[in-house]
């Protein structure tokens, strides 16, 4: 009767969403969901849904749109197969914005969700269906509802705040530890933003595994979704939000791949930047666009 329990949980979740969306006028916005263009994949409930997931540095009580976005992942979910792909974009990618060239992590703050979606489309040739933005407060709330996640690390290090000793191999993180892990850059072995983006993908995979393993726990799915709704601001209908949540629970972590867009380091106006490898970005986008698969690999030095 797993299917019956799952269906009942999702119907309860949909009813809860219908009661509270949108809620941004009552609570500070800690999570934002914005549709881009027609968002046909979300509306139809089949094909590939592309979600641009952004981690904002907005402090508690601040609107998530005001912060720099130091975590940038374009996630494609194939609703027909459960396959998914995450394309990581380093925050320092130097791109052409509306007001001139700047680092990608300023695009949301300066040009809004549509602006950063446009930049991602220019780089990869993939227009996101949805832009998801969460700040520290929203991240901690959601991860607290998800529970402890397991993350495999290829290297050992201590997080920048000194609170977490990451071991080589399997680690288990609670919400606060997950945030420390995701924010760390300076104490990584190479001190590179490429390493941090890779850690973001490892944390994402661990979260997907946790969602998948716990989806039949009574009240789990509702708790995760409802934890976000108090500070949610969205232009999506309740049915669209429901389909998006459902899509995430259908992802098979074993069929999820990751890729990071690389480039060359440089300096602009005294700040470190990365000039993106445009050929790699477009090749990855062309490969993954229609089916959320990377049959040709990541096209970087590591293959």
Q: What pLDDT is recorded for position 145?
A: 86
Which tokens sit at 266?
Answer: 């440089």
How far is residue 226's CA from residue 214's CA, in Å, rounded to a whole number?
16
How far is residue 103's CA from residue 116's CA, in Å, rounded to a whole number?
11
Nearby residues of 218 by Cβ (< 8 Å), 6 or more positions away: 5
Structural domain boundaries in the chain: 2-288
Distance of CA 121 to the CA centre of its chain: 16
Q: What pLDDT is recorded for position 3?
A: 47
Tell me the angle at which helices 193-214 and 175-183 cross, rounded to the nearest 10 degrees. Answer: 150
Q: What pLDDT is recorded for position 141?
A: 86
Q: What pLDDT is recorded for position 24?
A: 43
Superfamily classification of domain 2-288: LCP protein (3.40.630.190)
pLDDT one digit per residue (tens) for the chain, 303 residues: 554 455 444 444 444 444 444 444 455 678 888 998 766 656 555 689 899 999 998 877 788 888 899 899 999 999 888 899 999 999 999 999 888 999 999 999 999 999 999 999 999 999 999 999 998 888 888 888 889 999 999 999 999 999 999 999 999 999 999 999 999 999 999 988 999 999 999 999 999 888 888 777 777 767 776 776 667 888 887 777 777 777 777 788 888 999 999 999 999 999 999 999 999 999 999 999 999 999 999 988 644
Q: What pLDDT is recorded for position 2?
A: 52
Q: Are 9 and 43 in contact (CB under 8 A)?
A: no
What angle (nearest 5°) sits at the alpha carbon of residue 201, between those of residues 271 and 193? 15
Residue whose pair of structure tokens reads 């949301």 in the numeric block: 108
Q: What pLDDT is recorded for position 186?
A: 94
Q: SS3 for 275?
A: strand
């Amino acid at each position: 009767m797993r299917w019956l329990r799952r269906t009942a949980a999702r119907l309860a979740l949909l009813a809860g969403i219908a009661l509270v969306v949108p809620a941004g006028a009552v609570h500070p916005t800690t999570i934002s969901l914005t549709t881009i263009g027609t968002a046909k994949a979300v509306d139809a409930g089949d094909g590939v849904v592309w979600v641009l997931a952004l981690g904002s540095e907005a402090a508690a009580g601040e609107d998530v749109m005001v912060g720099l976005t130091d975590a940038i992942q374009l996630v494609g979910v194939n609703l027909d197969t459960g396959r998914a792909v995450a394309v990581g974009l380093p925050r320092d990618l130097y791109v052409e914005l509306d007001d001139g060239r700047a680092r990608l992590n300023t695009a949301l703050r300066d040009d809004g969700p549509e602006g950063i979606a446009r930049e991602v489309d220019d780089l990869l040739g993939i227009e996101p269906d949805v832009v998801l933005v969460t700040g520290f407060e929203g991240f901690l709330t959601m991860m607290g509802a998800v529970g402890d996640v397991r993350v495999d690390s290829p290297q050992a290090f201590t997080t920048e705040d000194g609170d977490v000793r990451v071991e080589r191999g399997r680690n288990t993180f609670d919400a606060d530890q997950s945030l420390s892990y995701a924010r760390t850059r300076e104490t990584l072995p190479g001190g590179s933003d490429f390493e941090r983006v890779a850690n973001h993908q490892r944390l994402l995979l661990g979260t997907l595994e946790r969602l998948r393993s716990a989806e039949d726990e009574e009240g789990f799915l509702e708790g995760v979704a409802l934890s976000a709704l108090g500070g949610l601001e969205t232009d999506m209908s309740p049915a669209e939000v429901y389909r998006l949540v459902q899509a995430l629970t259908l992802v098979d972590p074993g069929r999820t791949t990751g890729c990071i867009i690389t480039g060359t380091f440089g300096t602009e106006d005294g700040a470190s930047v990365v000039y993106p490898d445009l050929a790699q970005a477009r090749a990855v986008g062309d490969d993954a666009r229609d089916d959320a698969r990377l049959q040709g690999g990541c096209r970087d030095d590591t293959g």
